[in-house]
Chain A
Amino acid sequence: DIVMTQTPLSLSVTPGQPASISCKSSQSLLQSDGKTYLFWYLQKPGQSPQLLIYEVSNRFSGVPNRFSGSGSGTDFTLKISRVEAEDVGFYYCMQTIELPYSFGQGTKLEIK
């Protein structure tokens, strides 16, 4: 099974400052079709997870451009260029290259 490891597990950020979350997978997430099956979700308080980033670096519809994803192979990063109050919640990376699908442990983002 593929293990997804996120760091840090919590983050406290002043509004307007950047934030960065790392996600490492135990195996490469690059598929033979050329796509990398790494995704980022945000779970806001009391809500279901919502897709932010698909295939490492593509923002999903409606996601603000302050969110960006990067990485390759087994190392990935989610960056928020300027954190806003509405960004609070838990961030999860997820892989779907191989069953069973798996999530990172989650990173809690708080506002200072």
Chain B
Amino acid sequence: QFQLEESGPGLVKPSETLSLTCSVSGGSISHYHWSWIRQPPGKGLEWIGQISDSGSTNYTPSLKSRVTISMDTSKNRFSLKLSSATAADTAMYYCARFAFGVLLYWGPGMFVIVSS
């Protein structure tokens, strides 16, 4: 059974880069697609982007200029970087594994506040 866990700073200053890591256990990240999703306080879910098993990436258009998703197969984890953070990026951030056409396994989430 795959388990995912998000980690990183819970507080980021405006204009800085928000960086999160998703550590995966229970299987290799090399054989699946992996996504990041976020949820601002009191709001719905927003798909941020994904990285495939080959390392190719896709991002939602509204964030594409600021987002980078990468993977480290040696450490079995993948990462999210969101540059030029603003208060609007304050949210719960989830990582998830894509399987059979759906986001099947989710991490517990990590809340990140963007504030000075």
A-side residues, CB < 8 A to B, are 1, 35, 37, 39, 43, 47-51, 54-55, 90, 92, 94, 96, 99-106
When A49-B106, A100-B61 are in contact, do A54 and B100 touch as well, CB less than 8 Å?
yes
Chain A contact surface mostly: loop
**Which chain A positions have C-beta within 8 A of B59?**
100
Assembly CA distance A37 to B101 (angstroms): 7
Known: A100-B58, A100-B60, A100-B61. A51 touches B104 (CB 8 A): yes
Size class of the B contact interface (CB-based, 8 Å): 20 to 34
Instruction: Give the CA-CA distance A45 to B109 in the complex, in Å.
Output: 13
Q: Given A54-B100, A96-B102, A100-B61, A48–B94 Cβ distance below 8 Å?
A: yes
Contacts of B45 in A (CB 8 A): 43, 49, 92, 94, 103, 106
In contact, A48 and B109 (Cβ under 8 angstroms): yes
Q: What are 28 A-B residue pairs whose CB atoms fall within 8 Å in the complex?
A: A35-B101, A37-B102, A39-B101, A39-B102, A48-B94, A48-B106, A48-B108, A48-B109, A49-B45, A51-B102, A51-B103, A54-B101, A92-B44, A94-B45, A94-B103, A96-B101, A96-B102, A96-B103, A99-B58, A100-B47, A100-B58, A100-B59, A101-B47, A101-B50, A101-B103, A103-B45, A103-B47, A106-B45
